Structures are given as C-alpha cells and as structure tokens.
C-alpha cells in the first residue's frame, strides 16, 4: 500500500473539519442556528400539549396602560392600587419585576407600603401574579 492514500485521507479529514468550522461560524453569525432551534423547540412542544392551568396571571404594562395612567415609572401609589386590586381579586402570591430599591417620595412610598401591609404579605414574592 502506498503512503499517498493515508495522506489523502488525512487531508480530506482536515478539509471536512475546516469547512464544518467555517459553515458553523457563518451560521452562527447570521443567526441561522436560532431559527433551527426555534423550529425544533416548536416541534418538540407540539408533542407535549396540555391545557393551561389558569394558576398564573400575567399583567403587562402596555401602551394602552401608559396612555391612560401616564409615563413609566408610575408613582408608587399607583403600584399600591394595583396590589390592592390583585389582593381583592384573590391573588395568592404577587411578584413585581421592577426596581423598588430606592425611595421616591414619602407619600407614594408610604402608599405602597400600606398596600403591601393590607395584603397581609411581608414581602411580595412568588409566581402567581407578576406585574411588568
């Protein structure tokens, strides 16, 4: 057997590896992998259909809300009113996904604190109802 045959096979393997890397890089740069991943995820999820439990309510602050209430961030008294309404509606847990780590003004901060206190929760947590 000649030495040329193993050399050609080795060159082909390196070419294949190089082309695979180049194609992978190109697909990664153009985001083709995300498209394929989304299609595969949708296909996989179609095999596991089940009805929604209704245990989670997602409340989103949308354009309509911004037009009626005003620009974001809303005063904390408005956040407190939302908490009061959610509590009155029977929410078992409330989670808020916006920054409350800094004080705004005493009146609004107190209104939010009072709403939390009225709800009977020391802190708002969980996954039952989320305000975004």
How many angstroms separate the first and last alpha carbons of the chain?
Answer: 71
Residue range 80-110, pLDDT digits in tens: 999 999 889 888 888 887 788 888 899 998 9
pLDDT at position 131: 44
Tell me the β-bridge partners of 129.
57
Find where tokens 């193993």 sit: 6
pLDDT value for 5: 63
CB 94 within 8 A of CB 124: yes
Is this structure's pTM higher than 0.85? no
pLDDT confidence of residue 107: 94
Domain ranges of the chain: 4-46, 57-131
Contact 56/129 with Cβ under 8 angstroms? yes
Is the backbone peptide bond immediately before 130 cis, with ω within 30 degrees of 0? no
Please report where in the chains the tokens 């009977």 appear, as a residue: 120
pLDDT one-digit tens code per residue, 29-77:
887 778 778 888 998 888 888 887 878 878 888 899 899 988 888 899 9
């Amino acid at each position: 057997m000649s030495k040329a045959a193993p050399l050609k096979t080795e060159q082909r393997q390196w070419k294949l590896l190089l082309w695979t890397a180049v194609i992978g890089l190109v697909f990664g740069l153009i985001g083709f992998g995300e498209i394929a991943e989304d299609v595969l995820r949708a296909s996989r999820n179609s095999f596991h259909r089940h009805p929604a439990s209704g245990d989670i309510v997602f409340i989103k602050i949308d354009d309509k809300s911004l037009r009626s209430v005003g620009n974001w961030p809303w005063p904390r008294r408005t956040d407190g009113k939302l908490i009061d309404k959610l509590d009155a509606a029977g929410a078992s847990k409330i989670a808020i996904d916006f920054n409350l780590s800094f004080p705004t003004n005493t009146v609004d901060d107190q209104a939010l604190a009072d709403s939390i206190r009225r709800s009977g929760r020391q802190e708002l947590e969980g996954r039952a109802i989320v305000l975004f």
